[in-house]
Amino acid sequence: MRDDIERVLIAEEVIEKRLDLIAGEIERDFPEGTLLVIILLKGALVFAADLLRRVARPLEIECLNVASYHGGTSSSGQVDFLDRRFPEVKDRHVLLLDDILDTGRTLHAVKQRLTEAGAAAVHTGVLLAKDKERSEEVEVDYTGFRIGDEFVVGYGLDYQGRYRNLPYVGVLKGEIAGI
Ligand code: IMP
Ligand code: MG
């Protein structure tokens, strides 16, 4: 698996230090009470697991399955909600977590759904944000790292379902990603 990686972009220790800081910000920013964290599957799973264990606040976790990529290395442009049940968010302070902000369509669509469903506030957090023009401008409250506009894997992010368990964020070799 590691042979498929051209270079490590963000090392595990660097991610861990950044998560300590973001967790502190979350603890300070959210009002008293139980916050509701919504994890976008599957990409945000690793990021969320590592981040939330650092947040010393009462919280509940819900997960949502949305798809905007269908196996390739570019966005399909459409956001599909795949769950039959939508979490109860009315009057809740929500922290929505995703792995990466790319075109912005996913976070924009989910944030809108949560707001329509009556959430008191929707804060957003991503491990990575690509430095590029977005189709949808979304304000992100917590960003782990800004990266260039390139396809990355690891720490939850996949290429065709693989590489999510790499403990760092890396760039795939061109011959593997077919680019
Ligand atoms: P957006 O809706 O275009 O912002 O895309 C968000 C989703 O696309 C993320 O949740 C990822 O699943 C996927 N994605 C975007 N860029 C990458 C990447 O570089 N590697 C792996 N997945 C990506
Ligand atoms: Mg994804």
> For the chain, which domains are there?
13-148 (3.40.50.2020)
The pLDDT of residue 1 is above 80:
no
Report the predicted TM-score, pTM, of the whole model to 2 decimal places: 0.94
Ligand nearest to the CA of 68: 1
Burial 49-65 (b: 16+ CB within 10 A, else e): ebbbeebebebeebbbe
Atom of ligand 1 nearest to the CA of 101: 4
Reported as a single tens digit per residue, the pLDDT across 115-174 is 999 999 999 999 999 999 888 889 999 999 999 999 999 999 999 999 999 999 999 998
**Phi, psi for 174 (deg, rounded to 5):** -55, -40
Query: Is 98 noted as a catalytic residue in this protein?
Result: no
Determine the distance separating the centroid of ligand 2 and the alpha carbon of 67, expressed in angstroms: 7
